[in-house]
Amino acid sequence: MSEVNRCVCTGLTFAELSRHPAAGSGFEALRRATGCGEGCGLCEPYVRAMLRTGRPSFRALAPCLSGGESGPAGGGAR
Ligand code: FES
């Protein structure tokens, strides 16, 4: 199973991002302040989910990476 716990492009973990002062102002503010989501953009749904839930890691969204497990939504229904 593949865990996603950081923005690979910036190297910042979701735990670090959650503690950033801009985290309280939403994704766009955090993106502007840190650059997370401005590279490849793949971390955006995870960072948004981290801001909603406070979770620092998630199972990968893509079934081919995760073995079919659920992603940030915590669902799993297909
Ligand atoms: S992983 Fe965050 S912008 Fe690429």
Residue 71 lies in a domain: no
Residue 15 lies in a domain: yes
CA of 75 to the centre of ligand 1 (A): 23
What pLDDT is attached to residue 13?
98
Residue from 3, 5, 8, 47 to probe ligand 1 pocket by mutation (most atoms less than 8 Å from CB):
8
Ligand 1 pocket at CB < 6 A: 7-9, 36-43
Other beta carbons within 10 angstroms of residue 38's beta carbon come to 14
Sign of CA dihedral 40, 5, 44, 28: negative
Residue 72 lies in a domain: no
What pLDDT is attached to residue 61?
75
- Domain range for residue 46? 3-66
Residue 77 lies in a domain: no
What pLDDT is attached to residue 64?
54
Residue 20 lies in a domain: yes
CATH number assigned to the domain comprising residue 43:
1.10.10.1100
- Return the structure tokens found at 32: 């502007």
pTM metric for this prediction: 0.79
Work out how many domains the chain is built from and give that number: 1
What pLDDT is attached to residue 72?
65
CA of 44 to the centre of ligand 1 (A): 7
Question: What pLDDT, in 10s, does the model give residues 3-51?
Answer: 999 999 999 999 999 999 999 999 999 999 999 999 999 999 999 999 9
